[in-house]
Copies of this chain bind each other. A is one copy, B any other.
Amino acid sequence: MGIVVQNIDRVDLGLVDRLGGFGVATVHEAQGRKGLLAPFMRPIYDGARIAGNAVTVSIPPADNWMIHVAIEQCREGDILVVAPTSDSHAGYFGDLLATSLMSRGVRGLVIEGGVRDIADLKAMGFPVWSKYIHAQGTVKETLGSVNVPIVCAGAHIEPGDVIVADDDGVCVVRASEAETVAQKSADREANEAQKRSRFEAGELGLDVYDMRERLKEKGLKYL
């Protein structure tokens, strides 16, 4: 505790943006069904889809001091990812902090805790994925750390990992795997486009995926 790592490796924003374009479900599948944060992480408003480099914050319960420290470490294209050291629904974050982050080009916030000023954040277009919405004020008394590995909503996140977030939730992509995952996501998307037209035309998944034989072997009975 009490450490701020200042220089972290980030993924090139071109690559980050490619990942963002695919969205959470595709990226999650493309990287072998890993990296999802828990489903209690919900967007405060619908329709946002972002990707960015993770600046991580390990923070005490009900104390938002380290968010101020973390902002200085943020730059264009980052997403702030905050995990309390124990569950807390305090309102760690509101429109003033969002103003500060937006002035630095930060794209959004992912926090396993509470946020407030929801209406303002929506009006400003600053997207947040959080566990709670709660106005409860926090203190500024205890240190945490910035840009250390954290567990946020059940997912292990390293500083500089790519975060993808949309209406389906939040997914983390290891920086080292970002290029491969983007490639596989593109393949998956192409493949899905093809499937989609067949489904639109009324073909069944049973035939498109050639499932009938295997279902029969397993013993499926039609009455």
Contacts and interface: CB of A to CB of B under 8 A. Distances in A.
B119 A166 contact: yes
The complex is assembled from copies of this chain, and their number is 6
Given A119-B167, A142-B139, A68 B206 contact: yes
A4 B223 contact: yes
B169 A133 contact: yes
Contacts of A4: 220-223
A100 B137 contact: no
Contacts of A86: 36, 62, 88-90, 134, 136
A47 B202 contact: no
A168 B133 contact: yes
Contacts of A25: 91, 94, 116-117, 135
A193 to B, nearest CB: 10
